[in-house]
Amino acid sequence: MRLFLDHDVYAITAQFLKDLRHDVVTAGELGHAQTDDSELLRIARNDDRLLVTRDRDFGRLVFVYRAGSGVIYLRLNPTNLSAVHEELKRVLETYSESELKEAFVVVETGRHRFRNVAELES
């Protein structure tokens, strides 16, 4: 899958995704370490990538302001890193890229919540 990682995603998570053979680009690599959230969503959408973040403010952008979709929000910290990585792997294996591009997915220890944003707009 084509993934765009927000600047707050751990480098170890980026490497984990690369090791799973996903096409990973980070905001920092593209010079967007200080770019605001709505612009990051636009960049991800324009580059046909899913946005992966640890920033819960993206939920507000997606659900309140309808600023886009295709967001994977990681409820992640150093103490639950391995468990969240395993759940993230499960999400990426369970859903197609096209399904994820229409969704907001919260990934946490041992579970995830998938919300199809396109269905909310109908």
Spell out the per-residue pLDDT of the chain, length 122, in tens.
999 999 999 999 999 999 999 999 999 998 887 788 888 888 998 999 999 999 888 777 665 546 566 899 999 888 999 999 999 999 999 999 999 998 989 999 999 999 888 766 54
Quote the radius of gyration of the chain (alpha carbons, Å).
Answer: 13
Q: What one-character-per-residue DSSP string does 32-89 give? A: -TT--HHHHHHHHHHTT-EEEES-THHHHHHHTS-----EEEE---TTSHHHHHHHHH
Nearest Cα residue to 88 out of 111, 62, 55: 111
Query: In whole angstroms, what is the distance from residue 112 CA to residue 107 CA?
Result: 4
